[in-house]
A = this chain, B = another copy of it.
Amino acid sequence: MISRSPEGIDQLAARLISQGSRFARTASRRAGTQRSLIALRVLANLRQEGDLRVGELALREAITQPAMTATVNRLEADGLVARSADPSDARASVVSLTEAGARELHEFRMRAAAEVRPAIAGLGEDDLAVLARAADLLEELADRLNRE
């Protein structure tokens, strides 16, 4: 039974931030990618949601718009995403995933999964279910934090 006391909740929040960041860094590093986690998140967003504006990407990933512009610039220079004008708003530039970008995202995921798989595969059914549900919950929590 998890404590609902403020202290219990606060400690849980701190641990999730701390361990979430450590796990992501550790696993992605072992996968040997050159790209930052943000860059990979951009590719993942585009794959899941389709084309997105620069500003929308910045909001979703909780970095500033200029930082996202720079990230998109690097991805574009490497041919992983493409910019195009938004027909409905000439100020906006719409980012879309290229085939090379989709490929690189997929390859990263396969390499990362290959590293993590042995450790995860050793878990019981209940812990697997916990991790799967936790991934959903973390996504929802981040969505909610970004929306406020």
Residue ranges of A at the interface with B (Cβ–Cβ < 8 Å): 1-2, 4, 6, 9-30, 37-38, 40-41, 44, 61-63, 109-110, 112-117, 119-121, 123, 125, 127-135, 137-139, 141-142, 144-146
Contact = CB atoms under 8 A, between A and B. Distances in A.
Interface of A (DSSP majority class): helix
Given A113-B13, A135-B16, A129 B2 contact: yes
A131 to B, nearest CB: 6
B2 A116 contact: no
Please state the number of chain copies in the assembly.
Answer: 2
Contacts of A135: 12, 15-16, 19-20
Given A134-B131, A137-B123, A145 B17 contact: no
